[in-house]
Chain A
Amino acid sequence: DVKVTQSSRYLVKRTGEKVFLECVQDMDHENMFWYRQDPGLGLRLIYFSYDVKMKEKGDIPEGYSVSREKKERFSLILESASTNQTSMYLCASSLGTDTFDTQYFGPGTRLTVL
């Protein structure tokens, strides 16, 4: 079974702090994704990566950066957390990028910024 793990289920940070959200997949997938999920807005893509050290902006990259130094690990970074970044963050991975490829999601990290 594909497993996508996220470093924390719940996280509380203060405004202005630098926040790291870690995601690890164990299936040697090429592609990894970060989404945020907010009530009424569904899931929105923040960043994705097709290969090590490669990254592409999604729909809402402002205020975020990412790092992919190893194939299995994809980190989301909030350089200076703000209250409007309070959200559920979901990481996903997929083997390929064809339109029939399946994405596998982690359990999510609920981040609260005070």
Chain B
Amino acid sequence: DAKTTQPNSMESNEEEPVHLPCNHSTISGTDYIHWYRQLPSQGPEYVIHGLTSNVNNRMASLAIAEDRKSSTLILHRATLRDAAVYYCILRDGQFYFGTGTSLTVIP
């Protein structure tokens, strides 16, 4: 299974940008990078995904390193509702969820 490494936890002040890192040094050429998040007491929800180029959507941006061995999820202005566990996943057949990064947003 494809492996990712994320910090266990991060903090951010409300309304400031947040950069959530993910290392995936064993990524293969066809692996998509997916990000999901899990709000308290809910199932995971899709955030964004990409292959090689940086991606933007209404929730976040995904910056992918040129060698694809790392990526960063960017929340442009953190709100209290963004407090969640964020999972970085390499899609290699099935999804393999690790333990993710628990983001705390400080008012």
- What is A's interface to B at a CB cutoff of 8 Å? 4, 35, 40-45, 48, 58, 90-92, 97, 99-108
The interface residues of chain B lying within 8 Å CB-to-CB of A43 are 44, 95, 97
- Write out the residue numbers on chain B whose beta carbons fall within 8 Å of the beta carbon of A40: 99
Pair A107/B46 contact, Cβ less than 8 Å: no
**Quick check: is B14 within 8 A (CB to CB) of the other chain?**
no
Q: Which residues of B contact A (CB under 8 A)?
A: 30-32, 34, 36, 41-46, 49, 51, 87, 91-95, 97-100
Tell me whether B99 and A103 are in contact (CB under 8 A): no
Cα distance A45–B51 in the bound complex, in angstroms = 24
Question: A90-B44, A106-B43 known; A100 and B91 CB under 8 Å?
Answer: yes
Per the bound structure, the CA–CA distance linking A41 and B51 in Å amounts to 26
Q: List 12 A-B contacts (CB under 8 A).
A: A40-B99, A43-B44, A44-B97, A92-B43, A99-B92, A99-B93, A103-B36, A105-B45, A107-B41, A107-B43, A108-B41, A108-B43
- Chain A residues contacting B94 (CB-CB under 8 Å) are 45, 48, 58
B97 partner, pick from A4, A42, A102, beta carbons under 8 A: A42
Is B44 in contact with A105, judged by CB distance below 8 angstroms? yes
A42–B58 CA distance with the chains assembled, in angstroms: 26
Residue among A42, A45, A92, A103 with max Cβ neighbours from chain B (10 Å): A103
Q: Which residues of the partner chain A approach B32 to less than 8 Å between Cβ atoms? A: 99-100
Top-10 shortest CB links A-B: A105-B43, A43-B97, A99-B91, A42-B97, A99-B32, A102-B46, A42-B99, A100-B32, A105-B44, A42-B98
Contact residues in B for A41 (Cβ distance below 8 Å): 99
- Asked whether A100 and B49 contact (CB < 8 A) given A43-B44, A107-B43, the answer is yes
Residues of A within 8 A of B45 (CB): 105
Known: A45-B95, A99-B30, A99-B32. 7 other contacts (CB 8 A): A35-B97, A42-B97, A43-B95, A90-B43, A105-B44, A107-B42, A108-B42
